[in-house]
Amino acid sequence: MDTNILFIFILAVFVGVEVISKVPSMLHTPLMSGTNAIHGIILFGGILALADASTPLAQALGFVAVIFGSANVFGGFLVTDRMLQMFKKRK
């Protein structure tokens, strides 16, 4: 069972890198603000994986998933806030 989880994790890393590397820079900010919900689901999945982990490897991968998911969620909100600040009228 743990080899399946590791295999899925490795595939997710490769797919994520390929998808993100193809996004142009000027589209990255609007896409990040629109995918905060998806990042929240990833964070929730990482928490579930960590809760079900029975080996040290599974616990480590679950912990890494929670850390990366948290960074995506909080970073997405920060980028969205900065993007919205650009549209406010200056005094």
13-63 residue pLDDT tens: 888 788 777 777 666 666 666 667 677 777 888 888 888 888 898 888 888
> Are 59 and 46 within 8 A, CB to CB?
no
Structural domain boundaries of the chain? Answer: 26-91
For residue 79, the SS3 value is: helix
Question: Taking 70 as the threshold, does the pLDDT of residue 75 lie above it?
Answer: yes
pTM of the model: 0.55
Give the Cβ contact number of residue 55 at 10 Å.
11
